[in-house]
Amino acid sequence: MDASDFLAQALAYHSVIEHNYRKGTIPSSANLDDALVEVYVALLRYIAEVQSARHESAVARVGKSITALIDEPLDRLRAVVEQKSAVVDQWKMIVRDEDQSRHAEDILGRIDEMARQVHSIDLRTNDQEELSILDWISTFSYSNIQNETKKSRSPETGAWLVQSSDRYQRWKTTPGQLLWLHGPVGCGKSVLCSTIIADTDLHCQQNEPCVLAYWYFKFSDNETQGMESMVRSFIRQLCPRPIPNPIRRIWKDHRRNREPDLEVLLTIFKEILDLLPGDIFIIFDALDECPVETREKSLLTFMEDLIKDFPTKAHLLATSRPEPDIHNALMRHTLFGLEDALSGDVEKFVQERLANGKLRRWNRPILERIEHELLNVSERRFRWVDLQLKRLEGCHIPQDIDEALTTIPNTLEATYKDILEREILPRYRDAVRSIFTWLTFSMKPLSREAVAEVAGFPSPDSVIEICTTQMVTLNTADGTIRLAHFSVKEFLLSEQVTHWCHLSEMLGHRTILSQILSRILTEKEELTYEIAMSKPLLLYGSKSWPDHFRQLESLTPDSIPEIYLMLLELFTERVVYLNWHRLRGMGYSHFNSFMVSEWPRPTNMAISMQFETLVELLLELKFDSMGFPLQSRESLLVHAARSSIDILVLLLKRAITVPFPEVKEIFLELQPRSEKDRATLSLIVDLLWNMGALYGLEESKIIHPVMLLSMTKNPNCADELLDICFDRDDQNTIPVTAELLEAAFGNVDRRVGILKVLLRQRKEELQFTQQIMRLVADISPFNSELAILVLRNHSQITCLLPEHAETFAGGASSEVLRLALEVYGENIMSQRNVLLAASVNPGARDMIRLLLSGKESNATLRHAMILAAATERKMEGLEFLCFVLDLWGPQTEIDQDIMIAAVNNYFRGMAILEAFLARQQAGFAVSEAILLEAAYKSTQEVMQLLMNNGGSEIPIRQELLLAAANNRDYGLSVLRFLLLFVGPDFEVPLNLLEAAAGNPAKSNGDDFRAVIDMFKEATVPDSVFMAAYDKPDHMRVLLERYGNSAPVTDLIIAMSNCWTLGSLATFQLLLEQHVLVVDKWVIEQTAARNYQCLWDMLRHVPQFPINEQVIIAIKYESGVRLILRHAEEKGLLTEEMIKIALSSTLLETPWLKHFLAEVNLKAPLTDSVLALAGKRDPELQLLLSQP
């Protein structure tokens, strides 16, 4: 009974251990296996011995005692099991610890993977944010115009200019040049410009970092005619990556709902140009198609400023007609008349069309006559020639050619009249005139469908067919229809209507506006997204009618009564207003999600659009028929303060009184947009003063401090408002409180202006407190003007603290620091912390020279300053070091601490040591401690410099060599260099070889090979191989020399404990060198847990086993997928493998479906496989059951 109990307990105990602790993926599990086997062998021997005794003869058994039969084997069994169980328990604990370690590594691995994923997400997020910023800057497709224009030119167009013109070549190679190409209408300027852009683009690609930006002004697209659109596009075209701070700054303002105006954009653009390292080429086409007002007000000045501000990098080129204002502005630059120069291009254009166009069907004499007639004119023009060729292409018989050639119109205007009279049937004239009106005055190009809707044509194709390609053209890139040429628009425009097609600008906008509003007002039912998208003219009109209305705003309601009646209906009919506002203000993808509660109220909307007369009419209605809550005039006032100063004045004149809180908001939100608006600010203050709204409830008429505080916080005009109030205050009754001064300095946009006002109006009341001085010092690197203002008025400073002086010294400009020295005095500015802060500020050089030159400065201070400079990794530290060394002379001692700081300086160490040597600095001495630091942290060049300047006299000890072997930044190059000094008989000790083998710096192995050469033993210990287990370059050297002695098993265990890029590369190296024999254990240690190992084995081991056991051993999804794919490709996929795959929890069902759908099985699957598939997913069963 004892034997049975002992056997049962022993088997149960060790079975539990085997189940819970035996893990094939852990190295120590093999030792546990051996111990368990020995226990089981002892148990089996005992059972076998007892069984053998049972089968002996009775006589034999009688001759033995019971003890001999049972107890003696049991005693032996107990002894063996107890001995082996102790071993099992030891390995059980080791396995458990290793298993826990492995779990910890798994967790850390997952954390690392999460970190990599987070980093990847960060990169994608940054990319997405940068794209969002660039899209906010500009989404205009400037290259589309270039691509369309390129289609119009012959292959050799402009070759004479880009290849042979001295003026053009000089412009391309010499910065600070503006080249103006001018020529008459229709001479081919834009086509030539496209050639220049292509040539310049190629030049920039071949000469990095040169960059190109270009802009086409197009008469048919209002977006191309605005300065803001152009500057935004230039910023995007030239913006470097990553996006620089100036753009991110205005992006932050945008996210605070503050959009940059043109002035800000121009400043940002110039800041971007400052950042660009190479030449900048900027090309403008068709300046004359930019509105005259924009040209004279900003464009031509902008061009002049670019040349003036960037004379060493800017190349500007412009094309246009020789309009007087353009000529006057650009005449001092390089001029190039194109009319005669383009004559050859016109000839090539005609010849190419005759040879390859529709006219090539005619015989040679006719073609020669056509060429002669078209080119034998006083002025060759591309546009005129193109129109005549199109006319001739419509000829069918020689008589048609004769008639066309004998009736050729002499001018473009005559040609257009001839086309209209000859091509347009009388019954289509009204429709064509309507089309011309819309194409001439529309705010952006119209789609084919919209133009057809204007004319009432069922098919968009009719527009081109009836209007002819001579007058209109289809842009295939975006499907829009435009007037064919700027000269067409000039022909059509006439305030004196003398021809049926002539148009008046005022009448044109009135016609378009009337038609748009009529279409909007006919939509009495709420529009769905689908219906809205089917009405292209409605979409255009809903967004563009305000722009057309602005062209008529100078007209009174009595002049255009029908327009104002329709506008009032639009703003007072609920459904109509809803439809329009959805179409206008929302992206169509959000068409139906726009909440009615979020509608801007109609009057607020009119204020935002700055339609003063319309606002006045809406106020006269005195009711809101849409069911909105009645809007008090006070709420409108704040909205008007943000949107329109003129409307704010209108509302204030109608108001009797304005509540105090409302006035606060008005002053906080006031946003003047022009000089006229700024001149009106005093009127606004007067209106509010006269109604008693500025001094609250107090009887004395003194502006309330709260009101002044609100004005002070205004980011747009705080200084102007305060100036107006102080000017009114003859008795100096307005106090400058600490709270007001704090608000003034806190107003980021206007604080300099506010301070100038306060200093001019109330200087004696100002007190620059400790808090204010801390702020001024903090921002002095970025706002010198404010710091200069404060320091020049130092009598108002209430406290002079060294910490503020230290902050100034650390970043302020030389001008600010000159004033700071006057204000704080030498005692404060010479303090240790102040000078140390100044040491890395290039702007502090003059101040330091003034403070330190010609004086016996404290040796401790000198040492601290040089030490700080030697430690500083930025270039400023090296510059300052050279500065003070020159200032103090070679007698200034350099001690060991400074030398160690220099050799430890990762970026500037070599340059600092060279600076010491160049000046023959006193105290430059190389010690063993300095060599140790250099060996461990510096480059071979630094070590060589030290050895050449005294270091070679110091004995090379093993400690120094070990420090070099452990140099993580620069690898073994320093060690290899030092070994040159130890002599040929030197034997590399084992600990040095191990350190060298484990050096983590990336290398090609040459330095390690040099170390190995000095190791005299025939073999290296396993410890050297183990040190290099994740250093593939070092392992390659070891395998070359001692490959047969590599401890492969230990290496695999070390690598599998921590897979890194290095250990994976080493594993691949072992496979390539055929050092590693792939067996079951190796697969379990490597491929079963690591995809890269599995991939490498499949590539480098032809006999890699593809079987069911390998699939079961692999513990990750991608590995199982790879094996199954490999098995299928090699024709080794079995039914058993499919069953394992169907049972696997690693594989996702969709992937299994995809994989099994592609599998080409050699034999039908059995019912058991189909049943297993059905259990997993019925669709899988159906898929596998198909023949």
The span from the CA of 414 to the CA of 433, in Å, is 18
Write the CB contacts of 1182 (distance below 8 Å, at least 6 apart in sequence). none
CB contact at 8 A, 696 and 706: yes
Give the bridge partners for 177, in sequence order: 315
* Spacing of C-alpha 440 from chain mean position: 39
* Spacing of C-alpha 507 from chain mean position: 47
Q: Identify which of 364, 416, 418, 370 has the alpha carbon closest to the alpha carbon of residue 393.
A: 370
Residue 163 region, left (φ>0) first, then alpha (ψ -120 to 50), else beta?
alpha
Give the bridge partners for 179, in sequence order: 317, 334
Q: In this predicted structure, what is the pLDDT of residue 97?
A: 46
DSSP one-letter string for 258-272: ----HHHHHHHHHHH
The span from the CA of 1035 to the CA of 1041, in Å, is 10
Task: Evaluate the CA torsion angle 554, 559, 560, 561 in order and state its sign.
Answer: positive
Domain 832-1038 CATH assignment equals 3.40.50.300: no
CB contact at 8 A, 42 and 7: no
Write the CB contacts of 1133 (distance below 8 Å, at least 6 apart in sequence). 1124, 1127, 1159, 1161
CB contact at 8 A, 280 and 238: yes
CB contact at 8 A, 696 and 709: no
The span from the CA of 809 to the CA of 806, in Å, is 5
CB contact at 8 A, 298 and 331: no
Residue 831 region, left (φ>0) first, then alpha (ψ -120 to 50), else beta?
beta
The span from the CA of 941 to the CA of 105, in Å, is 40
Fold for the domain defined by 138-338? Rossmann fold (3.40.50)
The span from the CA of 1052 to the CA of 1058, in Å, is 10
Burial 346-377 (b: 16+ CB within 10 A, else e): bebbbeebbeeeebeebeeebbeebbebbeee
CB contact at 8 A, 705 and 738: no
The span from the CA of 304 to the CA of 281, in Å, is 14
Q: In this predicted structure, what is the pLDDT of residue 245?
A: 83
- Backbone phi and psi for residue 475, each to the nearest 5 degrees, phi listed first: -85, 110
Write the CB contacts of 87 (distance below 8 Å, at least 6 apart in sequence). 35, 38
The span from the CA of 43 to the CA of 319, in Å, is 102
Q: Please list the helix, strand and coil fractions of the chain in percent, rounded to the nearest 5, in that order.
A: 65, 5, 30
* Spacing of C-alpha 686 from chain mean position: 49
Provide the residue type at 882 as one letter.
C
The span from the CA of 1018 to the CA of 1024, in Å, is 13
**Start-end of H helices in 257-317:** 262-275, 292-294, 300-309
Give the bridge partners for 533, in sequence order: none
Write the CB contacts of 747 (distance below 8 Å, at least 6 apart in sequence). 712, 713, 714, 715, 718, 754
Q: In this predicted structure, what is the pLDDT of residue 117?
A: 47
Q: In this predicted structure, what is the pLDDT of residue 585?
A: 64
State the DSSP code for 279: -
Write the CA distances from 469 to 154, 390, 551, 1136, integer angstroms.
Answer: 19, 9, 29, 72
Query: What beta strand segments (E) does 71-191 contain?
Result: 177-182
Write the CA distances from 590 to 135, 209, 310, 384, 593, integer angstroms.
Answer: 19, 42, 45, 48, 5
317: helix, strand or coil: strand
What are the residue ranges in the chain where pLDDT is below 70?
1-127, 152-155, 255-258, 494-498, 585-599, 622-634, 696-700, 854-857, 1160-1164, 1187
The span from the CA of 1063 to the CA of 1026, in Å, is 11
* Spacing of C-alpha 394 from chain mean position: 53
The span from the CA of 735 to the CA of 451, in Å, is 65
Q: In this predicted structure, what is the pLDDT of residue 26?
A: 45
CB-based burial label for 891 (10 Å; 0-12, 13-18, 19+): exposed
The span from the CA of 421 to the CA of 439, in Å, is 20
CB contact at 8 A, 879 and 842: yes
The span from the CA of 185 to the CA of 92, in Å, is 95
Q: Identify which of 280, 308, 284 has the alpha carbon closest to the alpha carbon of residue 294.
A: 284
